[in-house]
Structure 1
Amino acid sequence: MTVATELRVWVAMGRRQEAAILPPELLARLAAWATPAGSPADADVVVTGWGTSLVLDEETLAAAPRLRALVHTGGSVRTIVTPAVWERGLAVSSAADVNADPVAEFACAQITLAAKRALGASAGYRAGRWPAFGAREGADGRTVGIVGASRIGRRVLARLRASEAGYRILLYDPYICAADAERLGAASVDIHTLCATSSIVTLHAPELPETRQLLNAERLALLPDGATVVNTARGALIDTAALVRECAAGRLDAFLDVTDPEPLPVGHPLLSLPNVFLTPHIAGCQGGEVRRLGAFAVDEVGRLARGEPLVGTVRREEWARMA
């Protein structure tokens, strides 16, 4: 393997994140393709990740004449990239696909639990109630409404479609036509129809001005009694106060990996509701899993060094709709 000494890389992320994402064995692989840059000003490639404060605006790019690519070890690059990046012609790559698989697995696990009404069954068991045969619920025939045909939403859809539980799948995404939804294995519906007819609603849309509180009080009220909301996307997609009211009344259940605000303050009502399952934004790569993100970045730098196309390319039109 030829060392590409002309390619210089600057790593910009938090120290603890860098140590986990790029452990020694991955740094050794990276050294086969590039040498460390002293700063972004003399780098050909910037590798970013969680904890970075880097913003590639006009001023930063003007001070980095060699820079030709950004490789991000997280998902969204919205806080790093500006229009100046596209005007300069930089290549942009994101590990969003790598991070999408664990999120989809996590969401599907919660959908399975929701279909079996696991939260209510657990609460009843702790209270001394053992369900009779006829009171036990399963997944068969459940209608799942997927909000957002994102890379994660599509993975969730594919997993549900492959399940033997016989889920009926609805999809709301304003960028997907009915024919495309059908090819994905879902029926395209508007958001009101999705809410009114789904026993489980799972969110996979980005946080944009038009998606904030997409599930507002009116739409949450449309959900059938006993329905479940699953959110592994962004907390701001739900009207938190309205969700609290619905869950506190016992009408809806919720599995929330993200909240608004995040983290929730001590004493927040969501923290004490027995029909709300909360996790601290853990659906994506965690612990040793984050090495997958580092391996992706190293492979992308190798592709740049060899003059090959990047596999995680982010295009300008995609960037505008990223989470």
Structure 2
Amino acid sequence: MHAAGTVKRLIDPVVFERGIVVTSAAQANALPVAEYTMAALFLGAKQTFRRSRAYTGGGFPPGGGPGLLGSTVGIIGASRVGRLVLERLHHLDVNVLLADPYVNMDEANALGAVLTDVDDLCARSDLISLHAPALPETHHLIDARRLALMPPGAVLINTARGSLVDTEALVEACTAGRITALLDVTDPEPLPTGHPLLTLDNVFLTPHLAGAEGREVQRLGEFATAEIARFLRGDPLQGQIHLDHLARIA
């Protein structure tokens, strides 16, 4: 029982061959990440961080953000976090797109989203939130071409893994003022001193803090002890990891 998030770099496949049951508290850790993402969506839709910086420079900045109402939100990855975000978006007046190769149309509809591919999602979304794992096939998933597909004023949120985004391409897009980026993860992490993303008004950075911190860590311990109790009773586990999960979990 791993009383935290991913087990990807901790578990060798031989563990499963020996018949050892593996489970983690990744589901509990997903909740604060989803909450962070929702906050980022609301604040990003109002262009809060760019306008705040302009305001502290003196006076009210011209132009406002469109807000979240009626917007199109694109979710890339129906992961644990992605599904929690989709669940929360279901209660808002927004249009939701989903891109995930492991989800079919019926599953997407049940999640309250329209299934599409990444290119179409980028082209149609006002706000895009990344919830995919770091895999060879997701490296630089958001590259210069896909950044160019995003409509002017689009907001990109990344609470997943920094390697999902081509950093150099993102710098170019943000420097040009085409999009806004809210990043809890970067590539590299941390960014070196003087990196352009650290100074741009339309980029808001946090130091990989979306996951459980402070009082939130209690949830991880509670999940772990409850999971052990389920195992001892012979009940279904809520965080069990299977061998075939290793290749595609974060």
Q: TM-score, with normalisation over the residues of structure 2?
A: 0.94
Q: Check whether the contact 2:32–2:216 (CA below 8 A) recurs between aligned residues.
A: no
The correspondence for 1:123, drawn from 53, 62, 74, is 53
CA–CA separation in structure 1 for the residues paired with 2:15 and 2:178: 47
Are 2:216 and 1:286 aligned?
no
Deviation at 1:74, TM superposition (A): 1.6
Structure 2: state its 5+ residue gaps: none
Cα pair distance change 1:175/1:246, threshold 3 Å: same
Task: Give the share of equivalent positions with the same residue, in percent.
Answer: 53
Are 2:244 and 1:317 aligned?
yes
Deviation at 1:131, TM superposition (A): 5.8
SS in 2 for 1:230: strand
Deviation at 1:188, TM superposition (A): 0.7
Question: Which amino acid counterpart does residue 83 of structure 1 have in structure 2?
Answer: P
The correspondence for 2:84, drawn from 146, 155, 161, is 155
Deviation at 1:110, TM superposition (A): 0.1
The correspondence for 1:257, drawn from 167, 181, 184, is 184
CA–CA separation in structure 2 for the residues paired with 1:82 and 1:250: 44
**Residue 99 of structure 1 corresponds to which residue in structure 2?**
29
Deviation at 1:302, TM superposition (A): 3.2
Q: TM-score, with normalisation over the residues of structure 1?
A: 0.74
Deviation at 1:299, TM superposition (A): 2.6
Cα pair distance change 1:135/1:178, threshold 3 Å: same
Q: Which moved more, 1:178-187 or 1:212-221?
A: 178-187
Larger radius of gyration: 1
Deviation at 1:292, TM superposition (A): 1.8
Deviations 1:50-83 (A, max 9, x none): xxxxxxxxxxxxxxxxxxxxx0112111111122
**Residue 106 of structure 2 corresponds to which residue in structure 1?**
179
Deviation at 1:127, TM superposition (A): 3.4
Q: With CA pairs under 8 Å and 6+ residues apart, which has the higher RCO, 1 or 2?
A: 2
Count of equivalent residues = 250
**Aligned CA-pair RMSD:** 1.6
**Residue 7 of structure 2 corresponds to which residue in structure 1?**
77
Cα pair distance change 1:308/1:170, threshold 3 Å: closer
**Residue 41 of structure 2 corresponds to which residue in structure 1?**
111
Q: Check whether the contact 2:46–2:64 (CA below 8 A) recurs between aligned residues.
A: no
